[in-house]
Amino acid sequence: MAMADEHVQKTLEELSRNLQESKTRLEEAQRVAHVGHWEWDLATDVIVWSDETYRIFGLSPQERPMDLATVQSLVHPEDREVLYGGVDEDLVAGIRPDAEFRIVRPNGEVRTVHALTSKRWSFVPGDAKRDATGRPYKLFGTVQDITDRKRAEETLQLTQAHFREGQRLARMGSWTSDGTKCQWSDELFQIYGLDPKKGVPSTEEFLTIIHAQDQSSMAEAIRLMLEEERGCDVTTRVMRPEGKMRYVRCVGMRVVEQGVFKGFLGTGMDVTEQELLTQELRRERAYLNEAQGLAHIGSFACNFVTGQNFHLSDETIRMHGFELSGPQVPFEDFFATIQPEDLQGVKDALEKAIRTRTDYDIEYRICRADNGNIRFFRSLGHHNPAGEIGDYVGTTIDITERKRAEQEHEKLRRLEGELAHINRLNMMGELAAALAHEIKQPIAAAITSASACVRWLERNPPDLARARAAAARIEQDGNRAAEVINRLRSFYKKGSPPKREVVDIKEIIREMSDLFRTEAIRYSVRIRSELQEDTPNVLADRVQLQQVFMNLMLNAIEAMRDGGGELRIASRTAPENQLTISISDTGVGIPTESAEQIFDAFHTTKTQGTGMGLAITRSIVEAHGGRVWATPNLGPGATFCFSLPAKAEARA
């Protein structure tokens, strides 16, 4: 008996140790998993918690006994009614209560727990303790702190919501495939205009929504993906069910894990706006290239310090004689085309612009790289002060034709000068008698005064006062003759470069009227001026303006040489600050058949005329920014008019 008792005692001690070890392991497991258990005696309303349950509710293990009121006070106020009402309903229905709710720890921290309660009427042993009537008097359950899991789920849900919203905003969906099955995001269904409830379409169904002209390229991309396990990047047009066409870019990449192919991961992007914008940019660039080609204007962006080309238009490359289809032309090769005589000037201008960080405008010659032709270029560069030193954006203009035109214009200008000189010489011949009279008159007067001076000096005693007066008249008449000669020399001098200055138009008219007065008297022509008092000055070449008046006044006198008449010179200020001069005669007028050609070169109605007078007149007036025209009078004769920009701020 004693041995039996000893054996029983050892067995009990071993069982106690095993039970204690199991309890310790259970408590450690509960602590690690944040899972506690509890018992509720329905008769006494006493609740027993495990140590981990206390910790979950923010209490020290076994710090105080638990009852229903204490437990309810720890449940979040917003969850109490729902929690206990739902648990009671589940127990009555024989359903194991399973609830998630929030608790408020004593320190105010809110945690989320998951509680699982035994079923009241369950016949599963150990699920609930029952009395003799079969009614449970104790319930058992577990509680787990799932706060971290809930927060992770909420974060995941928020991330997924952000991801879905991001896809919606970016018009980008995603897809995955293991080579046989494919999954699409909601946005991808939306992009293709398909119903997610109908599932992912088959390859054949998918190809039916692709534009007919793009189906073959899409089918080939899918075939290569499946057969050769390669990625894809293809843009196709999609015909949505409502009839709208959209551009969709599909990008797929291989997924490989530890060297084993797992499938594909990809995106589908609605790139309609980008594609339409790209097409518009291509058209604009094509138009720009065409316009630059027509105008022979190229554009560029570069850094003259580092020697980098950031942008070169097609026309810039063509203008220098390089191939568009060839490799990128180095920066140095463009400089190599500049003519050696112009290279240093170009470098100096660029160095100054870079140093002062300002724009530049230079002209130079280049030798084309393809055929060696010499071309004239003008380059304009703009520097953004906020940019890097040496950064310039600009244009290069082929001004060869302009330069040649300028050279031709210079030749014509010299030729016009020669013709104008010839015209003036011809006029001098026509005015020889009048000019001889102009010069002879002061000379004859001087001779008379000289004779008188001699007589006054030969008297005894000499009459010095009268001799002195005669000498003064000699000086005066000599100066008059010299003035006429100097005026003629200035007018007929050859090769004088045009010199524009502020000219008193009334003074010019007086001078020319005096010059032609003898010729006018010879043909019974009266010269009359009707000039406004406030006639403005003009900015003009004095000699050229004299020639205009000489041409028009001489023509007017010649038109009246057979019957005499009146030559009237008038001035008036027209709108837009224009001064208009009119020269009218009462002569034979303008022949009807010659009205349209009178200002053409070599057209003349005179027997011995050169036909250059009025042509030169028009050339001079137009060169001064004016115009010249002729109209027949209501009575006899014609009126020739010309207008010039008035120099209002320099009135006489």
- pLDDT by 10-residue block (mean), the chain, 652 residues: 65 68 66 79 81 88 81 88 71 70 91 78 44 63 88 85 79 87 90 91 91 93 89 92 90 90 91 90 87 87 91 91 86 92 94 93 93 93 88 93 84 64 56 54 68 79 80 75 61 58 88 80 89 87 82 87 90 85 89 68 53 75 88 89 74 37
Q: How many domains does the chain have?
A: 5
Identify the burial level of 298 via C-beta atoms within 10 angstroms of its C-beta, where 0-12 means exposed, 13-18 middle and 19 or more buried. buried
Q: Has residue 155 been placed in a domain?
A: no
For 338, which DSSP code?
B
Q: What is the pLDDT of residue 650?
A: 38
Among 398, 422, 452, residue at a domain's last position: 398
Q: Has residue 218 been placed in a domain?
A: yes
Number of Cβ atoms within 10 Å of the Cβ of 594: 12
Among 448, 468, 497, residue at a domain's last position: 497
Q: What is the CATH number of the domain that holds 42?
A: 3.30.450.20
Q: Has residue 94 been placed in a domain?
A: yes
Same domain assignment for residues 645 and 505: yes
The residue segments making up the domain with residue 84 are 24-145
Q: What is the DSSP code string of 340-365?
A: HHHHHHHHHHHHHHHHHT--EEEEEE
Relative to beta strand 110-117, strand 98-104 is: antiparallel
Same domain assignment for residues 440 and 506: no
Same domain assignment for residues 535 and 643: yes
Q: Has residue 550 been placed in a domain?
A: yes
Same domain assignment for residues 514 and 636: yes
Pair of tokens at residue 281: 């940019």
Give the Cα separation of 445 and 290 in Å (integer): 77
Give the Cα separation of 46 and 138 in Å (integer): 10
Residues 6+ apart with CB under 8 A from 279: none
Q: Has residue 412 been placed in a domain?
A: no
Q: Has residue 413 been placed in a domain?
A: no
Same domain assignment for residues 616 and 542: yes
Phi, psi for 168 (deg, rounded to 5): -65, -45
303 and 391 Cβ atoms separated by less than 8 Å:
yes
Same domain assignment for residues 508 and 640: yes
List b or e across 212-251, with b for residues whose CB sees 16 or more CB atoms inside 10 angstroms.
Answer: eebbeebeebbeebeeeeeebeebbbbbeeeeeebbbbbe
Same domain assignment for residues 347 and 438: no
Q: Which amino acid is at 491?
A: F
- The structure tokens 């900015």 sit at 539
Same domain assignment for residues 564 and 624: yes
Q: What is the pLDDT of residue 136?
A: 56
Same domain assignment for residues 645 and 520: yes
Same domain assignment for residues 642 and 563: yes
Among 398, 420, 447, residue at a domain's last position: 398
Same domain assignment for residues 202 and 139: no
Same domain assignment for residues 368 and 344: yes
Q: Has residue 15 been placed in a domain?
A: no
Q: Has residue 141 been placed in a domain?
A: yes
Q: What is the pLDDT of residue 535?
A: 87
The H-assigned helical ranges of 34-136 are 51-56, 68-74, 80-92
Identify the burial level of 61 via C-beta atoms within 10 angstroms of its C-beta, where 0-12 means exposed, 13-18 middle and 19 or more buried. middle
